[in-house]
């Protein structure tokens, strides 16, 4: 059964019979002592919560977080917010579904981004670096995880494919700036852009729609993990120059720019300075883009207070924007050509 209706398009009064992912389900009790279930479901476009008044215990068993379910019910309004009144829940095998329907994901085609990234690698002139990049970004477990991984837990690019999107965007900017500034080692800078967050595929994991840290991720951090991954693969390439490796690892280790942001060493080479700025730039631009995608009006208006940025923002909607659910069908590639 394919998913056809997405949460962000639902309106009060809609009757539904649709697939969702269970985010959480917990038992509560009415004043009268009768148990009921408070169920939260999600798909890639948002979340919806609502009560299941009958058969609470039985449904709770079906509704394990991360499971796919088929829900029959109705969309109601409660305290000016939509809620889902659930009449019936049926389990659905994950194999029959496309997880991309349920998890928030990049709006760009991962296939096309991957191809673009391969094309950039082919332009790297330093043969050792090109070989090294080839080892990571070719068929295999790392490359598979790389394409699915989010780029962060909760700030920027925090969705399926976010790491790929962020990495590719940075590589494009790195390409531009290595043409603009004299004397930049383009091979090193491109490699830095492509590998700087590599460690995130071991630092973060995504389960049932939630991104969280692995123990290794917290204990070592993605900078050190990424540096180690690069060190191990370089050791398998004959005659990989030691200093080239050290400069590359320096790019990864220093890309947060300051020790207080978690970099054990600060940028000390031209490429390390550039990489740090490109990373900050691209991360912030994604935060702003995510906020703008939720706006309706092309008029400038003030956002809520953004705690992570410690300020209010003055923004308008991205102008040619469509609903996210509809975007897919109409072919994303056209607009994308202008982005990448």
323 lines the binding site for a second copy (CB under 8 A):
no
The answer to whether the CB of 96 falls within 8 A of the CB of 32 is: no
239 lines the binding site for a second copy (CB under 8 A):
no
Q: What is the dihedral of CA 291, 294, 296, 300, to 10 degrees?
A: -10
| CB-neighbour burial class of residue 199 (10 A; exposed 0-12, middle 13-18, buried 19+) | buried
Helices 110-122, 162-180: axis angle to 10 degrees equals 30
Long-range contacts of range 203-210, CB-CB < 8 Å, 24 or more positions apart? Answer: 204/149, 204/150, 204/152, 204/153, 206/103, 206/148, 206/149, 206/150, 206/160, 207/66, 208/21, 208/22, 208/23, 208/65, 208/66, 209/21, 209/23, 209/42, 209/66, 209/102, 209/103, 209/104
Total site size for a second copy, rule CB under 8 A: 70
Q: What share of the chain is helix, strand, coil (3-state, %, to 5)?
A: 45, 20, 35
The residue within the footprint of a second copy, chosen from 99, 237, 266, 332 (CB under 8 A), is: 266
Long-range contacts of range 330-333, CB-CB < 8 Å, 24 or more positions apart? Answer: 332/107, 332/108, 332/109, 333/109, 333/112
305 lines the binding site for a second copy (CB under 8 A):
no
- Between residues 147 and 169, which has the closer beta carbon with respect to a second copy? 169
- Between residues 134 and 231, which has the closer beta carbon with respect to a second copy? 231
269 lines the binding site for a second copy (CB under 8 A):
yes
The residue within the footprint of a second copy, chosen from 1, 9, 17, 27 (CB under 8 A), is: 27
Which one of the spans 144-152, 156-164, 274-282, 324-332 is the region binding a second copy (CB under 8 A)?
274-282
- Between residues 15 and 180, which has the closer beta carbon with respect to a second copy? 180
Which one of the spans 47-55, 89-97, 116-124, 288-296 is the region binding a second copy (CB under 8 A)?
288-296
Task: Kindly state the helix (H) or strand (E) to which residue 17 belongs, with its residue range.
Answer: strand 15-29
Q: x/- contact string, 176-215, with a second copy (CB under 8 A)? A: xx--xxxx-----------------------------x-x
Kindly state the greatest CA–CA separation across the chain.
Answer: 76
Which one of the spans 45-53, 59-67, 276-284, 326-334 is the region binding a second copy (CB under 8 A)?
276-284
For residue 220, the minimal CB distance to a second copy (Å) is 6
- Between residues 95 and 243, which has the closer beta carbon with respect to a second copy? 243
- Between residues 124 and 224, which has the closer beta carbon with respect to a second copy? 224
The residue within the footprint of a second copy, chosen from 64, 118, 123, 259 (CB under 8 A), is: 259
Distance CA 177, CA 179 (A): 5
- Between residues 47 and 321, which has the closer beta carbon with respect to a second copy? 321
Helices 127-136, 215-235: axis angle to 10 degrees equals 130
Q: Give the residue from 4, 20, 59, 16 showing the smallest Cα distance to 209.
A: 20
The residue within the footprint of a second copy, chosen from 239, 319, 329, 334 (CB under 8 A), is: 319
The answer to whether the CB of 92 falls within 8 A of the CB of 70 is: yes
Q: x/- contact string, 78-117, with a second copy (CB under 8 A)? A: xxx-------------------------------------
Distance CA 204, CA 218 (A): 9
Contacts with a second copy, residue ranges (CB under 8 A) = 26-29, 31, 78-80, 169, 172-173, 176-177, 180-183, 213, 215-216, 218-221, 223-224, 227-228, 231, 243, 246-247, 249-250, 253, 258-266, 268-270, 273-274, 277, 280-281, 284-285, 288-289, 292, 300, 302, 310-315, 318-319, 335, 338-339
């Amino acid at each position: 059964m394919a998913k056809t209706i997405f949460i962000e398009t639902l309106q009060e009064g809609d009757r539904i019979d649709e697939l969702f992912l269970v985010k959480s389900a917990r038992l509560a009790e009415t004043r009268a002592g009768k148990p009921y279930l408070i169920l939260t479901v999600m798909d890639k476009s948002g979340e919806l919560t609502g009560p299941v008044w009958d058969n609470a215990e039985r449904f709770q068993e079906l509704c394990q977080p991360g499971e796919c379910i088929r829900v029959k019910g109705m969309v109601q309004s409660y305290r000016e917010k939509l809620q889902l009144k659930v009449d019936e829940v049926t389990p659905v095998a994950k194999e029959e579904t496309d997880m991309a329907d349920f998890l928030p994901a990049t709006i760009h085609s991962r296939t096309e981004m991957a191809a673009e990234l391969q094309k950039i690698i082919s332009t790297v002139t330093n043969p050792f670096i090109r070989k090294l990049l080839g080892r990571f970004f070719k068929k295999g477990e790392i490359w598979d995880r790389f394409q699915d991984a989010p780029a962060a837990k909760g700030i920027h690019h925090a969705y399926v494919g976010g790491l790929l999107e962020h990495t590719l965007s940075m590589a494009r900017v790195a390409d531009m700036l290595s043409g603009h500034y004299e004397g930049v080692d383009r091979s090193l800078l491109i490699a830095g852009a492509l590998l700087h967050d590599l460690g995130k595929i071991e630092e973060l994991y995504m389960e049932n729609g939630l991104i969280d840290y692995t123990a290794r991720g917290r204990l070592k951090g993605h900078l050190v993990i990424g540096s180690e991954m690069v060190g191990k693969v370089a050791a398998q390439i004959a005659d990989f120059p030691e200093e080239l490796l050290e400069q590359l690892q320096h790019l990864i280790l220093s890309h947060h720019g300051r020790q207080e942001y978690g970099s054990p060493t600060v940028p000390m080479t031209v490429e390390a300075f550039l990489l740090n700025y490109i990373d900050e730039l691209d991360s912030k631009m994604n935060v702003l883009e995510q906020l703008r995608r939720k706006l309706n009006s092309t008029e400038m208006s003030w956002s809520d207070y953004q705690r992570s940025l410690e300020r209010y923002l003055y923004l308008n909607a991205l102008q040619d924007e469509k609903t996210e659910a509809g975007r897919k069908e109409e072919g994303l590639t056209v607009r994308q050509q202008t982005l990448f």
